Chain A
Amino acid sequence: MSKIVITSSGNTVKSDFDLRFGRAAWFCIFDDETKETKFYENEHINANHGAGTQVAEKMLELKVTKAISGDFGPKAKELLDKFNVQMVIVQEETTVESIINKLITK
């Protein structure tokens, strides 16, 4: 079982992929086994600092094992790395759905 977070600009799979991690608008948690998606709004989006760390902590809480975003800040990177969360950087304008499709069809 594997839970994958994909940063999203909105709360549906049709939303654009958000290239930011700590300051992404939403997080799509995709369950690799059930193929279900759940969306969480980013509570730390307006944090003056430490958004990356707080979001990374939240992801660890949600037992995410893989994080897909356009970029990870140094703090988030360090934390995710420490807890063996695989980081995937995609620097492409795409949608959450098309990323999920790539994950499914592999």
Chain B
Amino acid sequence: MPRRIRLRKVVAPPIFKGYKPYGAHVESKEHIELLYEEYEAIKLADYDLMKHKEASELMGVSRPTFARIYEAARRKIANALVEAKEIKTVYGNAWLEKDWFVCIECNSRFTIPKTISNHNCPLCSSKNIESINKH
């Protein structure tokens, strides 16, 4: 079966590759992997102090999905703090590229190479498209 992946919009990727604990009595060799979208969920909810509904809309996911990502993020960070583990940020299912567009009608995502003058949706021809990096 073809694999199914959901891509989440990430508004601003983290500006670090990871965090390392220091001065730990027992250094953990393990690390946790914080996905970009998890970082984003924490940022929107706890740094930008957005309501979950708003944050989920910004990330282009449903509220329950947002809650799940947010919960996973908090648990990972708590685990890293308590067990003195390194945090690494990894790409996950985030959507970061520039110059990608989404069709509001059929939900396809696409690039528009400079050789193409037609800026309609390449699948359904709708003119109702928007840049993914608009926010």
Contacts and interface: CB of A to CB of B under 8 A. Distances in A.
Q: Do A and B come from one complex?
A: yes
Contacts of B109: 88-89
A20 B2 CA distance: 7
Nearest to A8: B2
A2 B73 CA distance: 44
5 nearest A-B pairs in the assembled complex, by CB-CB distance: A106-B125, A84-B113, A19-B2, A89-B109, A84-B115
B5 A68 contact: no
Interface of B: 2-7, 97, 106-116, 120, 122-125
Contacts of B106: 90, 102
Nearest to B114: A84
Contact of B108 (A18, A24, A84, A88): A88
A2 to B, nearest CB: 10
Contacts of B113: 81, 84-86
Q: From B4, B113, B114, B120, name the one whose CB has the most chain A CB atoms within 10 angstroms.
A: B113
A17 B7 CA distance: 18
Nearest to B120: A106
A90 B6 CA distance: 11
B5 A91 contact: yes
23 contacts: A17-B2, A19-B4, A19-B5, A20-B3, A66-B122, A68-B123, A70-B2, A70-B4, A70-B5, A77-B97, A81-B111, A84-B115, A86-B113, A87-B110, A88-B109, A88-B123, A89-B109, A89-B110, A90-B106, A91-B107, A93-B4, A103-B123, A106-B124
